[in-house]
């Protein structure tokens, strides 16, 4: 059994959690829409993750929609005391599975209520506001109005902690001027390193950074070099990419997702992978080729 504690812990809100977590997005159907092909397999993955020590699960009620949260409830409720469920709001799905911004006060309140209902909770541990100003990553625009709604719901006791997702530095600062932010969730990986400065700034303030798409945006050449490093270490490219992220900064929390127990074991094993300095140099040389936008 993999010892994920070797990756260490970091504080998320007022909880100390293992840095290797699990992302539930792939538990829904194709394109994160509709039910999974095998619901029993999805339940098995969640239970296996928790049995392996995972105590941080990232989800959203717009996965499915509703499907992923309902599967989490079926698999894990009543939840272990140390399990931290983190959700996000700011979008909804249309009948064809399209992603539609849902930023009005009513939509945000309804999203929180849907998450509470489908997860079977009276209070959400962490809610990330996902900015939906662009389909291609963060884009500037004020998030004060929607984030203030979440701050109100936090004061009402429906949410314990707040975070932000798909955001710029300016939006993080804006959110922090309204209410404490315990995590930032953005696209970041070995070659997509536009958030380097953000990660370092958050680390100084003890705020968690949760990267998604650990292999997203690689060129064929970058992928081939990553594969070469993985072959030399007798591991998978995904394991190398995850191990590099764990090494990058102590405030990084990982949420790799999968619908397969076998793949889950592979991902979690990255917590035990120590990259040799020579491998790190090669990997960092890949990263240096990816210039910030």
User: What gap in Å lies between CA 177 and CA 121, rounded to an integer?
Assistant: 28
Residue with tokens 């400065």: 197
pLDDT for 290: 52
For residue 152, what is the DSSP state?
H
In a domain, 203, yes or no: yes
pLDDT for 289: 60
In a domain, 121, yes or no: yes
In a domain, 10, yes or no: no
> Max CA-CA distance within the chain?
53
Q: Kindly report the CA angle at 275 between 274 and 279, in degrees rounded to 5?
A: 170
- Give the H or E element holding residue 229: helix 220-233
Structural domains counted in the chain? 1
In a domain, 138, yes or no: yes
pLDDT for 132: 85
CATH code, 61: 3.20.20.100
In a domain, 94, yes or no: yes
What domain range is 196 assigned to? 16-217+252-260
pLDDT for 292: 44
Low-confidence ranges of the chain (pLDDT < 70): 135-136, 288-293
User: What gap in Å lies between CA 23 and CA 85, rounded to an integer?
Assistant: 10
Residue 175: name the closest of 151, 211, 155 by CA. Answer: 151
pLDDT for 291: 47
pLDDT for 51: 98
Burial of 191 (0-12, 13-18, 19+ CB in 10 A): buried
In a domain, 256, yes or no: yes
In a domain, 243, yes or no: no
Both tokens assigned to 260: 């397969």
Q: Which residues are catalytic?
A: 63
User: What gap in Å lies between CA 204 and CA 199, rounded to an integer?
Assistant: 9
3-state secondary structure of 153: helix
In a domain, 50, yes or no: yes
């Amino acid at each position: 059994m993999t010892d994920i504690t070797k990756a260490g812990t970091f504080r998320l809100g007022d909880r100390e959690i293992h840095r290797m977590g699990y992302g539930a997005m792939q538990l829904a159907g194709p394109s994160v829409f509709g039910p999974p092909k095998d619901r029993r397999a999805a339940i098995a993955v969640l239970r296996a993750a928790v049995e392996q020590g995972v105590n941080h699960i990232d989800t959203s009620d717009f996965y499915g929609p509703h499907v992923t949260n309902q599967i989490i409830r079926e698999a894990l409720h009543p939840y272990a005391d140390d399990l931290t469920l983190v959700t996000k709001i700011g979008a909804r799905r249309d009948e064809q599975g399209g992603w539609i911004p849902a930023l009005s006060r009513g939509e945000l309140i309804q999203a929180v209520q849907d998450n509470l209902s489908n997860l079977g909770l009276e209070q959400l541990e962490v809610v990330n506001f996902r900015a939906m100003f662009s389909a291609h990553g963060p884009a500037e625009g004020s998030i004060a109005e929607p984030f203030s709604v979440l701050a109100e719901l936090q004061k009402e006791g429906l949410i314990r902690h707040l975070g932000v997702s798909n955001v710029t530095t300016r939006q993080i600062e804006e959110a922090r001027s309204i209410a404490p932010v315990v995590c930032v969730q953005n696209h970041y990986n070995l070659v997509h390193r536009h958030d380097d400065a953000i990660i370092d700034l958050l680390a100084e303030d003890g705020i968690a950074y949760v990267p998604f798409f650990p292999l997203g945006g690689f060129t064929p050449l970058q992928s081939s070099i990553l594969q070469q490093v993985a072959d030399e270490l007798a591991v998978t490219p995904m394991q190398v990419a995850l191990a590099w992220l764990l090494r990058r900064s102590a405030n990084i929390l990982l949420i790799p997702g999968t619908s397969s127990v076998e793949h889950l074991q592979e991902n979690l094993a990255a917590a035990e992978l120590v990259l040799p300095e020579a491998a790190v140099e090669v990997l960092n040389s890949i990263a240096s080729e990816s210039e910030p936008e």
